[in-house]
Structure 1
Amino acid sequence: MDKLDLAKAYKTYYTARTKPQIVEFEPISYVTIAGKGDPNGTTFANATEALYTVAYGVKGKCKKAEQDFTVPKLEGQWWVDGDPRTALEVPREQWHWKLLIRMPVFVTAELVEEARRGALVKKKELKVIADVGYETLHEGLCVQMLHVGPYATEPETLAQMEHFILKEQLSYRGLHHEIYLSDPRKIDPDKLKTILRYPVQAIEVVKG
């Protein structure tokens, strides 16, 4: 039985250049969980564990149905109250986030719900599993760039993206989106690779 590797099947989604580029995506489904607070805190850690628990539960059910897949990289959307691009300018305790793990097209909301219920039974102490859901996002046209280095230096990459967005006469249309290609527990911070992505749209030019 072949195992689906989403990173190989959707290379445009899981790869990016070290300079800004324009990409476009169709609607994509995920298991998700949302929260607020410092990403180094317990709430974030528990949410991540809950999300992976459900994702692997889905994988297990798919494997039994001979539709096995590799659970892909963790992703996150980030924002603060007000302008979503100012997250790095406020205390981390005020950050809102939504963690995501992409699902294959054959995974349904019903299957995710089954996996979520099963996970709640197996890990009764991890009550936040109840907050994991299934969601489809359509980001459409986006600007993305590969950030290499620690998360703290992301503003340098985001500045390049903003310059590119303005130069191309585009405007922001959605939340800051990150895909974590590296595991920070296993790699030097200077070598971390993260895809940074923003949904965008063309600026309407009013002609006189």
Structure 2
Amino acid sequence: MMKHEWRKKEKDVYIPKAKPEIIKVPEYNFFTISGKGDPNNPHFANYITPLYALSYAVKMGLKKNPVLDSYYDYTVYPLEGVWDISDEAKKNFNPNLPINKDDLVFTLMIRQPNFVTEEYALDVIEKVKIKKPDLLINKVKFEKIEEGSCIQMLHIGSYDNEATTFKIMGEFAKKQGLERESKLHREIYLSDFRKVATEKLKTALRFKTK
């Protein structure tokens, strides 16, 4: 059986066009970790590392010993983040001013294939926690998340310029008779910001609608 590659097999979910589109996102499994603060600070990497450590532990463990039903080899899914601002920041929010990045709150996550059970995932968390005690493994959860009806669009360039893309998405939502459910939004990182020039970064942006 060929390896399942999300870039090829799940383009509708992960590779949006550079124009808004409506999508319904079903329930998926994720390793998640939550935090707060400026993503440009060095400490931000401490939240990303455990997600990859666990995701590769699941992948390689099953490749060596495929004990789960319906197992198939796959490419590890991309890093995703759901972003908001703190409750305190919301009290003084001014849409005409740039957001103070220290006020950001986030949940980062990496999807796991549907065949990965909670029991297996929690067992991997315990094993990696022992092997790599310096990582924030104890903050990681295994969760099932269903986004449902969303609007998404490809953003190219700096994360700081995402407001332009969100404005286009918001106008599209109005034309479709839809409202944005909340200020929360999801980013799916299709480029490695450590290796790709800022102006070429590709990020899938998504928000829920009602």
User: What TM-score do you get using the length of structure 1 for normalisation?
Assistant: 0.89
The code of the aligned residue for 1:111 comes to: Y
| Match among 169, 173, 196 for residue 181 of structure 2 | 173
Query: What CA deviation, in whole Å up to 9, does each residue of 1:105-149 have, x standing for no partner?
Result: 1011111111111111111122x1111111111111110010011
Q: 2:60: which partner in 1?
A: 60
Supply the RMSD in Å over aligned alpha carbons: 2.0
Deviates more, 1:190-199 or 1:171-180: 171-180
Q: 1:135: which partner in 2?
A: 143
Q: Structure 1 regions of 5+ residues with no counterpart?
A: 202-208
Q: 1:197: which partner in 2?
A: 206
> Quick check: 1:33–1:47 contact (8 Å CA) kept in 2?
yes
> Quick check: 2:30–2:144 contact (8 Å CA) kept in 1?
yes
> Quick check: 2:170–2:180 contact (8 Å CA) kept in 1?
no
Count of equivalent residues: 199
Whole-angstrom CA distance in 2 between matches of 1:184 and 1:158: 20
Within a 5 Å distance, the mapping from 1:1-208 to structure 2 comes to 2-66=2-66, 67-82=72-87, 89-126=98-135, 128-174=136-182, 175-201=184-210
Q: 1:204: which partner in 2?
A: none
Whole-angstrom CA distance in 2 between matches of 1:23 and 1:198: 10
> Quick check: 1:54–1:132 contact (8 Å CA) kept in 2?
no
Q: 2:69: which partner in 1?
A: none
> Quick check: 2:20–2:153 contact (8 Å CA) kept in 1?
yes
Query: What CA deviation, in whole Å up to 9, does each residue of 1:166-188 have, x standing for no partner?
Result: 12111122530011101111111
The code of the aligned residue for 1:79 comes to: D
Q: Structure 2 regions of 5+ residues with no counterpart?
A: 67-71
Whole-angstrom CA distance in 1 between matches of 2:199 and 2:98: 22
User: What TM-score do you get using the length of structure 2 for normalisation?
Assistant: 0.88
> Quick check: 1:57–1:115 contact (8 Å CA) kept in 2?
yes
Displaced runs of 4+ in structure 1, greater than 6 A?
none
Identity, in percent, stands at: 40
1:197 deviates by 0.3
Matched residue of 1:60: which SS? helix
